[in-house]
């Protein structure tokens, strides 16, 4: 069993405001990740403040700590050993990606990389990582000292990261 957590918080400063309700190809951005997580996770919860979405969510005790704080919040609440954490910024990721990423075999995370570009906001995390990760700061810096399985996807258009209005289709 895998718990699913969709990161919906964040100021969206490059987007000009919250991203969750922005339309991508005619659908709200949050809906892509929520649908993907529901396809293979035993439960799915949102992490972060988005009052417009009436779905099960976790609100961080100390908001404003960035994605690392959201990941720690999710892992502390996880009911399963492994969770899939997904930022809503990745609307093109699909079940084929999840299958290619494969299941974790060791360490505290199994995450994708596209060549030299790591993507720590769309992969598997073990709940033990919550004890190892600081509550804020850079996710990549925090992962440097932990055992992480990186899976290289080469150049892959599915890793479009929606951060600006120009990224919306």
Whether 86 has a pLDDT exceeding 90, the answer reads yes
Q: Residue length, the chain?
A: 169
Please answer whether residues 37 and 3 qualify as being in contact, where contact means their C-beta atoms are separated by less than 8 angstroms: no
The pLDDT confidence band at residue 101, using thresholds 50, 70 and 90, is very high
Secondary structure letter of residue 88 according to DSSP: T
Count up the domains in the chain and report the number: 1
What pLDDT is recorded for position 54? Answer: 81
Instruction: Map tokens 């999710």 to a residue.
Output: 74
What pLDDT is recorded for position 50? Answer: 80
Q: Token pair of 20, please?
A: 């969750």
Domain of residue 65: give its range: 2-167
The pLDDT confidence band at residue 58, using thresholds 50, 70 and 90, is confident
User: Other CB atoms closer than 10 Å to residue 44's CB: what's the count?
Assistant: 22
Query: What is the average pLDDT across 68-79?
Result: 94
CATH code of 120's domain: 3.90.550.10
């Amino acid at each position: 069993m895998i718990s699913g957590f969709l990161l919906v918080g964040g100021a969206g400063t490059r987007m000009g405001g919250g991203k969750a309700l922005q339309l991508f190809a005619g659908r709200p951005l949050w809906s892509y990740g929520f649908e993907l997580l529901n396809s293979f996770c035993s439960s799915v919860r949102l992490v972060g403040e988005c009052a417009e979405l009436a779905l099960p969510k976790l609100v961080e005790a100390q908001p404003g700590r960035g994605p690392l704080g959201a990941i720690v919040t999710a892992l502390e609440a996880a009911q399963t050993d492994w969770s899939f954490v997904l930022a809503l910024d990745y609307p093109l990721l699909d079940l084929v990606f999840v299958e290619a990423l494969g299941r974790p075999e060791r360490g505290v995370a199994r995450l994708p990389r596209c060549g030299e570009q790591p993507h720590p906001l769309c992969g598997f995390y073990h709940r033990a990582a919550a004890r190892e990760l600081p509550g804020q700061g850079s996710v990549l810096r925090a992962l440097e000292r932990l055992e992480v399985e990186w899976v290289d996807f080469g150049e892959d258009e599915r890793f479009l990261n929606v951060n600006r209005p120009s990224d919306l289709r």
